[in-house]
Chain A
Amino acid sequence: MLERVLVERAMGGDRVAFNELASRWVNRLYGIATLILRDPDQASDATQEALIAAWRDLSALRDADRFGAWLNRLLVRACHREARRARRRRVVEVAEAPLDSRPGRDELPGFLDRDQLERGFQRLDVDHRAIVVLHHLEGFSLAEIGEVLGLPVGTVKSRLHRALGTMRAALDADARVISIDRERIA
């Protein structure tokens, strides 16, 4: 069934229709929240809160075609709340990663680049992370992101530029450190 039809029915109070919408969006929202918050439990809570808020406030949505953008707006708000509630843990308990068991592959692991991207990304606040994720992964235009976050296009553009610059600087800085140390050893 077309999403628009489901949204209109849900706007009219149809819980079954809304539950179908939730099942269609939950994976995507969870993926975005995980990238923004970098914590699966917080992402799970933010996703749940966003969907409940969507059900509760659906009457405020005037155009069913804008449901996706509106839902992303609720998700980013929920991520803000989760980020404020989060506390840094000094003792870390790590999860196990899946193993890459492809035979014959003899590439060196890119842990360093991924770690540097992670560390650069962690320097960003929730809004900047959301902008990068919505733009680079979800394919939103600057205008669409502006509507999601309630910001002018120019502000979105400058924040995106700043966010990518911060991540790029993290990569460059670590590369310079390694380069300098190798020169000392040689």
Chain B
Amino acid sequence: MTTHDAFDRQVVSWFEAERPTAAPEGLLEAVIDRVAATGRRRGWVVVDRWAWRRAAAIRTTLSIATAIAVLAALLAILVVVAGILGSPRPAPPFGLATPGRIAFDTAEGIVLSNADGSGRVVLVAAGGQSLSPTWSRDGLRLAFWNRADDAGPWSLDVIDADGSSRATLVDGVRLRVQEDAFHQPSNLSWSPDSRRIAYAADDAGGTSIFVATLGRVGAERLTEPDLYAALYPVWSPTGSVIAFQSGINSTLRIVAADGSGERQLSSLTGTLFWPDWAPDGSRIATAAADENFQSDIYVVSADGMQVRDVSTNPGFESSPAWSPDGRRLAWAREPPSGDDRAWIVVADTDGGNAIEIRVSADYAPPVWAPDGSRLFSYEMAEDGTFDAILVLDPAGVAPVVRLPATGSIGNSNWQRLP
């Protein structure tokens, strides 16, 4: 085979990876059965059109283009080595980035894995409970909840991506409404500068939104205690405000990063679970349910003036997640019937061109790869925990990759790299 450049080799490698090693079972038998029942056509004497001779010469010439490709490869190797030897570079906080490893909790502890299952390591070994690993926006650290046993308060810890420099930022945290329903406390939301972490916690008979800061012990309370539970804080990509869900009518609210200016963002009520900001901070997506608990996906402008229902399915839909390029939304949809817990929908941000990926996934927010090439959801086990992470192609073309994650609570996410 003659290959002229790196692209040809890439194509060949891809073909070799994609080619099945064997025909499916039963195909040969089917052929044999049909041959037994098939007659032959009469042979006609025709001029033979198949006379040819296989080419024997193979030319190998080191062209200028090949020399340039070799030099470029050597230079790339030098750059990679320099990168490895140097300090880790931060990723951009929003928008497209290179996918790193997926962090998720399991019965073993906090695990890191590439999306194809390679490079699996236990970063934090189980000793009590360590949950909800959340990558900083720059991809350099993980924040997670930790406690020594199955009961009692939590500490908010951070650790570097290589497992070093573990530190406790906050101790004694509880969020009973989340622990009761989801076996874990709050989600963790990093600020765009990867210096602060927002979370919800019990406080004086209600719940409040708090912010912890790297390098400091303790947290700052941003909102007054809400008797009806302030939940799901999500830092805006602008870094100036935090959105969260709150109040007796479960509305969407925002508060400035310094705790000032708390207000209701829109008239939408019945909001459910995690809202998610568009990567440019211009809009926020959320699920909201009516009195019959039928929930749709809504996109709200950052000033709250525009609210648009982007899901047309009559059933229950929740947990929207923006693609990193801001061009698509993914969310969970209840199947009309059957054994699957939830399907994953991928659509344009106005709900158009929707694709329904029918795997038995979960209502937890789908998590996009930082380059938008994949997203993952979860497969639920009998005991209500998750036993696998399902890595999906948003176009629904490539096969699903199933990463074992026995005992996972969810709230996993994908590292961003430069």
Which one of B168-176, B219-227, B251-259, B399-407 is at the interface? B399-407
Complex Cα gap A143–B55 (Å): 8
Q: Is the CB of A111 within 8 A of B100?
A: no
Which bracket fits the contact residues of A?
Answer: 35 or more
What CA separation (Å) do A106 and B7 show in the bound complex? 24
Q: Return A179 CB to nearest CB of chain B, in Å.
A: 9
Interchain CB contact under 8 A, B96 and A99: no
Complex interface bits, A74-110 against B, C-beta within 8 A gives 1, otherwise 0 = 0000000000000000111111110111111111110
Which residues of chain A come closer than 8 Å to B359, judged between CB atoms? 94
A42 beta carbon closer than 8 Å to chain B? no
- Nearest residue in A to B358 (C-beta to C-beta)? A93
Measured CA separation A139–B55 after assembly (Å): 11
CB of B35 within 8 A of CB of A34, answer: no
Q: Do the beta carbons of B46 and A34 come within 8 Å of each other?
A: no
A59 contacts partner chain B, Cβ-Cβ < 8 Å:
yes
Q: Which residues of B contact A31 (CB under 8 A)?
A: 19-21
Residues of chain B contacted by A35 (CB below 8 angstroms): 15, 18-19
Asked whether A60 and B96 contact (CB < 8 A) given A113-B10, A118-B397, the answer is no
Any B CB within 8 A of the CB of A5 = no
Give the secondary structure class of A's interface.
Answer: helix
Judging by beta carbons under 8 Å apart, are B55 and A141 in contact? yes
Of the listed residues B39, B52, B98, B399, the one surrounded by the most CB atoms of chain A closer than 10 A to its CB is B52
How large, as a class, is the contact surface on chain B?
A: 35 or more
B200 in contact (CB, < 8 A): no
Is A94 touching B27 in the complex (CB atoms < 8 A)? no
Q: Closest B residue to A22 by CB, please name it.
A: B31
* A186 contacts chain B at the CB level, 8 A cutoff: yes
Is B119 a contact partner of A22 (Cβ separation < 8 A)? no
State whether A44 touches B117 (Cβ < 8 A): no
B95 and A40 contacting across the interface, CB-CB below 8 Å: no
Interface residues of A in 53-77 (CB under 8 A from B): 55-63, 66, 69-70
Q: B66-85 vs A: 1/0 string, CB under 8 Å?
A: 00000000000000000000
- Pick the contact of B31: A52, A100, A108, A109 (CB < 8 A): A52
Per-residue 0/1 for B6-29: is the Cβ within 8 Å of any A Cβ (1 yes, 0 no)? 011011101111111111100110
Shortest distance between the CB of B292 and any CB in chain A (Å): 26
A69 to B41, CA, bound (A): 20
Cβ contact within 8 Å between B373 and A13: no
Residue from the list B118, B373, B400 in contact with A102, Cβ < 8 A: B118
**Does A91 lie within 8 Å of B358, measured CB to CB?**
yes
Which A residues, 22 to 61, have Cβ-Cβ distances below 8 Å to chain B?
Answer: 22-23, 26-27, 29-31, 34-35, 40, 44, 47-48, 51-52, 55-61
Q: Is A147 an interface residue (CB 8 A)?
A: yes
Interface check B32, CB cutoff 8 A: yes
- Nearest chain A CB to B77 CB, angstrom units: 14
- Are B54 and A141 in touch, CB under 8 angstroms? yes
**A4 interfacial contact with B, CB 8 Å:** no
**Nearest CB in chain B to that of A137: its residue:** B15
> Is there contact, CB below 8 Å, between B40 and A40?
no
- Give the CA-CA distance A31 to B46 in the complex, in Å: 31
A126-151 Cβ-contact flags toward B at 8 Å (1 or 0): 00000011001101010110010010
Contact for A44 among B27, B38, B393, CB less than 8 A: B27
For B115, give its contact among A27, A59, A109 (CB under 8 Å): A109
Q: CB-nearest residue of chain B relative to A67?
A: B50
A59 to B93, CA, bound (A): 67
Which residues of chain B are near A182, meaning CB under 8 Å? 92, 95-97
CA distance A23 to B3 in the complex (A): 30
Contacts of A105 in B (CB 8 A): 118-119
Indicate which residue in A13, A103, A168 contacts B40 across the interface (CB closer than 8 Å).
A13
Within 8 A of A (CB), among B36-71: 36, 38-44, 46, 48-52, 54-55
* Residue A1 interfacial (CB < 8 Å): no
Q: Is the CB of B358 within 8 A of A56?
A: no
Seen from chain B, the residues whose Cβ lies within 8 Å of a Cβ on chain A are 1, 3, 7-8, 10-12, 14-24, 27-28, 30-32, 34-36, 38-44, 46, 48-52, 54-55, 92-100, 114-120, 325, 355-359, 369, 371, 373-374, 392-393, 396-403, 417
A-B contact pairs, 26 of them (CB 8 A): A15-B35, A27-B23, A30-B20, A31-B19, A47-B23, A47-B27, A56-B40, A57-B41, A91-B355, A93-B358, A94-B393, A94-B400, A95-B400, A99-B116, A100-B117, A101-B120, A104-B119, A105-B118, A109-B99, A109-B116, A118-B398, A136-B3, A136-B11, A136-B12, A137-B19, A141-B54
Residues in A lying within 8 Å of B, measured CB to CB: 13, 15, 18-19, 22-23, 26-27, 29-31, 34-35, 40, 44, 47-48, 51-52, 55-63, 66, 69-70, 90-97, 99-109, 111-115, 117-118, 132-133, 136-137, 139, 141, 143-144, 147, 150, 164, 167-168, 171, 177-178, 181-182, 184-186
Question: Besides A99-B401, A109-B99, A150-B49, 8 other CB < 8 A contacts?
Answer: A27-B23, A29-B23, A35-B18, A61-B50, A91-B358, A95-B399, A101-B120, A185-B96
